[in-house]
Chains A and B, each alone.
Chain A
Amino acid sequence: MSPVDQYVRRATTGLPNRTRLDTAAELRVHLNERITQYVAQGFDRAEAEHLAVEQMGPAEPVNRRFLGHVFTPRVGWVVLGLLVVASGGWLAGNYLFAPAPTVKNVAVKAEELIPFIGDFQMLQLTLPKRTKALHIAITLGEDGATLSGTNLEHRYPDLRPNQRVSIPLGVGFLHTALASTECGAGNRALVTFGSDHGRSEMCVPMPSEVGSWTFLMQNADNVMVQDVWQPLLLYKPSVMVDEVPPGTRSSWSTPEGHAIVGPRDTWIAVSAFASTAPLNDGDPQAEYPTIGDVVRQYRWVEF
């Protein structure tokens, strides 16, 4: 391909066909006249072609101005390629190689144990996509003290799906000297600890009765905002989880059940403490989930 052909092709590439032919013809006429002039001055044909093309300047800026924008076809293809690669990477990161939703037990730092006497557990959660709220139930043997957390958007406004977060969740019996309330003989201060709830103490008989449980809801008064929250699941003290039948609203404040409620895209992670002697008279219940197990995951069901 001659220098003239190369220049004309580069300068007119990407133009609509009719415009490209017209412009190419005009550029070719220009270059041929210049070549004729140079040949008349004594240059040979190859030199004249070279000088004529050189005189035109670089073809790419001319092509950009013809196209009326900065994207020559070559730049356009490069940008398109980068977009495809970036999109592919995003899709792979979010879907193909996204970490699976998990609940994992992680090591507890010594200072986090200071307020507690008894069990304490730290969970690391990897949340599914679109997770907006989270409920976590922790059971203590059959007497099942339960801690529920919720509303991730409020609690972790920067939280992204598939992000691993460590949420400290703990439960235990406070030493009498540390308890802020006097529970009286035969009772002990049960303290529950959640990342957004802070600490909550309540007096429970010791040993606790079958079916007794404690929980923390979204606010300190344990009041559910019915306009916002919809019943979703029923947590029984035995950690059996039942879906609330459509159109019904479970009774959440009875010893038989604990209604866990949440908005759309709620993810339910049920974990469990190992039952230990001070907390439970009985043996650890084999049917209870082991620490860190995701018992079930539920998406919010529209009634």
Chain B
Amino acid sequence: MANASTDAKRGTIDLAILATLEHQDRYGLEILTEVQRATNGSLTFKEGSLYPALHRLVKQGWVNTRWEESDSGGAPRKYYELTDDGRRALEAKRQEWRSVRDAMEVFLNLRGAQ
């Protein structure tokens, strides 16, 4: 599977982060690892760009943070947790994504059939 384009990545990073936090609180590197694992590495981005995106989501009230001791004995980690608003935003973005995906599929199939 080809890597998604830069624009697509930029447009989907918020959705990917929110979806990653849907069932479990995670810290930065864990979010990154989970996104790459779940997408078989097709959705990759520079690791540094994760943190500004997380900050943006915190600012929007979709995500809360807390520092927690590392279970592996390392330095404390900053965990991210989806808020109720974040869950609603995730649902809205998910619907929006599906609508776009369905529309594009119809469009591309029609074009392909011509």
Interface size class of B (residues with CB under 8 A): 10 to 19
In the complex, chain B residues 43-57 whose Cβ is within 8 Å of any chain A Cβ: 46-49, 51-53, 55-56
Contacts A29-B78, A30-B29; is A65 near B52 (CB within 8 Å)? yes
The number of chain A residues with a CB under 8 A from chain B is 23
Contacts A23-B55, A66-B55; is A29 near B76 (CB within 8 Å)? yes
Taken together as a complex, chains A and B put the C-alpha atoms of A26 and B47 apart, in Å, by 12
Q: Which residue of A lies closest to B50 (CB)?
A: A30
Q: Which residue of B lies closest to A61 (CB)?
A: B49
Contacts A34-B29, A57-B46; is A27 near B74 (CB within 8 Å)? no
A/B interface sample: 22 pairs, CB < 8 A: A11-B48, A11-B51, A23-B55, A25-B78, A26-B51, A29-B28, A29-B74, A29-B75, A29-B77, A29-B78, A30-B29, A30-B47, A36-B74, A56-B46, A56-B47, A57-B47, A57-B49, A61-B48, A62-B52, A65-B49, A66-B51, A66-B55
Q: Does A102 contact B (CB under 8 A)?
A: no
Q: Is the CB of A26 within 8 A of B46?
A: no
Q: Which residue of B lies closest to A55 (CB)?
A: B47
Q: Is the CB of A32 within 8 A of B74?
A: yes
Q: Does A33 contact B (CB under 8 A)?
A: yes
Which secondary structure dominates where chain B touches chain A? helix
Q: Is the CB of A62 within 8 A of B49?
A: yes
Residues of chain A with a CB closer than 8 A to B76's CB: 29
Which secondary structure dominates where chain A touches chain B? helix
B89 to chain A, nearest CB (A): 19
Taken together as a complex, chains A and B put the C-alpha atoms of A7 and B76 apart, in Å, by 20
Q: Is the CB of B28 within 8 A of A30?
A: yes
Contacts A26-B28, A30-B28, A30-B29; is A62 near B51 (CB within 8 Å)? yes
Residue from A28, A33, A57 having most chain B Cβ neighbours under 10 A: A33
Q: Is the CB of B48 within 8 A of A62?
A: yes
Residue from A32, A36, A62 having most chain B Cβ neighbours under 10 A: A62
Residues of chain B with a CB closer than 8 A to A32's CB: 74-75
